[in-house]
Structure 1
């Protein structure tokens, strides 16, 4: 293969991956989305993969490629989880380690037995390509939320993953080398471009309109309201871009970001047992909302039924602390009759 073509392609690939890593880190600092952080580290490892290729250390190249595939797959699962489309991201974390673990195993096995490129490095490329391909299918599932940008990104990852899977078979074919390298370089540039474009979308950053000051009716921290008090407060807050967790999403204003508390898995749904996810979402929202952000919890009795009072009370206390340090508010709608005297007194202490 032409050396100038090879080095030009590698340089462009390295620059594109490094730029994507930096931009995704910037996106993480703005949105506090963990998926952006994971994608950023994924592209950083991808740029190191190019360096391994440049200095011709194949073990470093394939290890970084496997780590990229693992992080890309986990980041895609995390993005689905952030959008309320998955309850099993913690289990997916272990699955996403498959390319890296298998690659390290095959490279270790190669040291203790006669070398066989196809059985070690070749298999590692296939598995990494498979997980990149699967990441593309996962991202395609979010095209209704993010439009054509994620649609094209998903398709590109599917093609790139399939192309990486054919590498062990077509590697010995001389005529295919220039075409395969050019295709890989072009796909890399396009994937980096669409990742940057996606990470800059308002839908991903979820930056609410700025407000000059918090509402006087709501104090920072945790607030408990009865259904009647909530109805009186609704007129001044219904035009604000609230974050809401509720059992009745149809009753929420259209401009709110609403998650349905339910055991049924569908778009923008959170399990009643997944309190850490609600905490993470509220924390990210209040940090990006700035002064006076408001999160609403309507269905606390349902959460209490699944988690028990002690766990629910500790969780509410943590939410109150998060809201207070961000000068925001967490409103919990509940009725006095839903709690016994001891429980109600403890809840009152949380908002004192």
Structure 2
């Protein structure tokens, strides 16, 4: 049997398995990033199939979609938005870089339109893999070495993809290329699995013992100050708009200003994902510990989100806190709400 077909089939199979694994961790760890990465690997398998079958349109579209989903998933990580600032200069030259690359590819294969088209797709894909790698390395202060290792691997993977149109026609390089691709796929997936099981709010030490009452509590802004004093030394997860929180807390500021420890008011899924990660991390340190989450700024969230969406978010957050025997403190200014919405919130959070 043709060794090229064997290598291609094995490579496609590994990518399908990688995609399935990412989707599994997406569901288990409640990580949206893993969902996008999983779909990316599944689609990448079709790029291999298109290459082998001579269907260059399928191959080109698949590899482009792979890069798009992987890059999109990376930008959805906590803090990734702020890291984009450092890439603005590079992205501004993207049209020029892509045109130069396209001209080089076409010049190398003037007689073969299919190879040129697929080669350009791989080159563009590689470029965005490198961008994803840069983003991940930039988040090393938040995610540690796991972010750096994955970022470097994806950067190397992107450079490897970019050599496709120049080395693909070289007979002896085909098995080498597939082997390198397979190795990079395996390493990337290993680092991805490590990465999606880590949260930026991971608890590094066992929390102090406190007598914590479980449930959901609605407090006024003035009452919240007493809560801050009571839990000043406990690793509370807080999403706040105006409150100044103790150093021991893991605090995310609700604002449209980009930053490592900020969250946009429109990104309720990120708040829920971060909350689930916090509870998982706390339980991993001490199964008997009780997660405590404080949410302040509902009035600000209401400006950017329809009430039904906000209600669904609060309902889901309450369910997760209840299942984990935790405490949810919601700071609410009752004078800022319509009576109908206020009654709905109070009924929802009982």
**TM-score normalized by structure 2?**
0.70
8 Å CA contact 1:20–1:196 kept in 2: the answer is no
Structure-1 residue corresponding to 2:22: 24
Aligned match for 1:347, one of 299, 324, 342: 342
Aligned to 2:81: 86
Partner residue of 1:203? 199
Q: Do the aligned residues in 1 keep the contact of 2:199 with 2:278 (CA within 8 Å)?
A: no
Cα separation, partners in 2 of 1:27 and 1:206, compared to 1, 3 Å: farther
Relative to structure 1, is the Cα distance of residues 316 and 87 closer, same or farther in structure 2, using a 3 angstrom cutoff?
farther
Equivalent residue pairs, number: 311
1:133 aligns with 2:130: yes
What is the DSSP-based 3-state SS (H/G/I as helix, E as strand, rest coil) of the residue aligned with 2:260?
coil
1: distance between equivalents of 2:138 and 2:203?
A: 23
Deviation string 1:54-88 (CA, Å, 9 cap, x unpaired) is 55544333332222111111111112xxx144289
Contact kept in structure 1, 2:129 and 2:158, CA below 8 Å: yes
**Residue number among 262, 281, 285 corresponding to 2:271 in the alignment:** 281
Rate the CA distance shift 1:88–1:194 in 2: closer, same or farther, 3 A: closer
Alignment of 1:1-352 (within 5 A): 3-4=2-3, 6-7=4-5, 9-79=7-77, 83-86=78-81, 116-117=113-114, 119-174=116-171, 176-199=173-196, 201-203=197-199, 217=213, 219-220=215-216, 223-234=217-228, 237-238=231-232, 241-247=235-241, 251-254=245-248, 256-271=249-264, 274-275=265-266, 277-278=267-268, 280-282=270-272, 285=275, 289=279, 294-300=292-298, 307=303, 317-326=311-320, 327=322, 330-334=328-332, 339=335, 343=338, 347=342, 350-352=345-347
When the two chains are superposed, the root-mean-square deviation of aligned CA atoms in Å is 4.2
1:175-217 CA-to-partner distances (Å, cap 9, x unmatched) read: 5445434333322222222222323x33379699999xxx874
Q: Would the aligned equivalents of 1:31 and 1:206 in 2 still touch at CA under 8 Å? A: no
Q: Which moved more, 1:6-15 or 1:60-69?
A: 6-15
Q: What are the ranges of 5 or more consecutive residues in structure 2 without an aligned counterpart?
A: 85-90, 103-110, 284-289
Contact 1:198 1:204 in 2 (8 A): no
Q: Rate the CA distance shift 1:345–1:47 in 2: closer, same or farther, 3 A.
A: closer
Q: In structure 2, what is the Cα distance between the partners aligned to 1:242 and 1:177?
A: 54
- Moved runs in structure 1, 4+ residues, more than 6 A? 207-211
> Which TM-score applies when normalising by structure 1?
0.70
Q: CA 1:162/1:174 → structure 2, altered by over 3 Å: closer, same or farther?
A: same
User: Structure 1 residues 74, 219: closer, same or farther in 2, change over 3 A?
Assistant: same
The Cα of 1:40 is off from its aligned counterpart by 0.9
